Homo-oligomer: A and B are copies of this chain.
Amino acid sequence: MLPFPLQIQPGLPISEQVVYAVKKAVISGLLKPGSRFPSVRAVSQELRIHPNTAHKAIGVLIDEGLLEVHPGIGTVVGQLPSAPSAKELKLFAGQVERLVVEAKNRRLRLDELQAMIERQWNRLTTR
């Protein structure tokens, strides 16, 4: 059994869905820093996807610092990353803009959006 929940759905790339599921599991405390992360082959077998696909997803998580590799040993959940750089913040601002545009397009008010943000924030509380 994998240490994070995931139901593969069509419409989005499988590797992206795996990345997102792991991110959610990490920030919600389901995957704790230092704990063992399943091997590429284990993930591929559990999710019934190809090892290359699992490896691609894990590679992204490595690059973002959520996972750490110990060659010959395996992969573990990394320590929490540091504060974002200016470049990362700029990219993130683009995502914020996208959400605001969609919110305004749906005739939401600012306080309604803020409330939805806070609700999701608390739902994903680190345990």
Residues in chain A within 8 A of chain B (CB atoms): 20, 23-24, 26-27, 64, 66, 80-84, 88-89, 92-93, 95-108, 110, 113-114, 116-118, 120-121, 124, 126
Contacts and interface: CB of A to CB of B under 8 A. Distances in A.
A108 B23 CA distance: 14
Copies of this chain assembled into the complex: 2
A69 B23 CA distance: 42
Given A23-B102, A100-B117, A117-B117, 8 more contacts: A23-B105, A81-B105, A84-B106, A88-B106, A89-B106, A96-B113, A104-B126, A113-B121
A107 B121 CA distance: 12
A82 B98 CA distance: 20
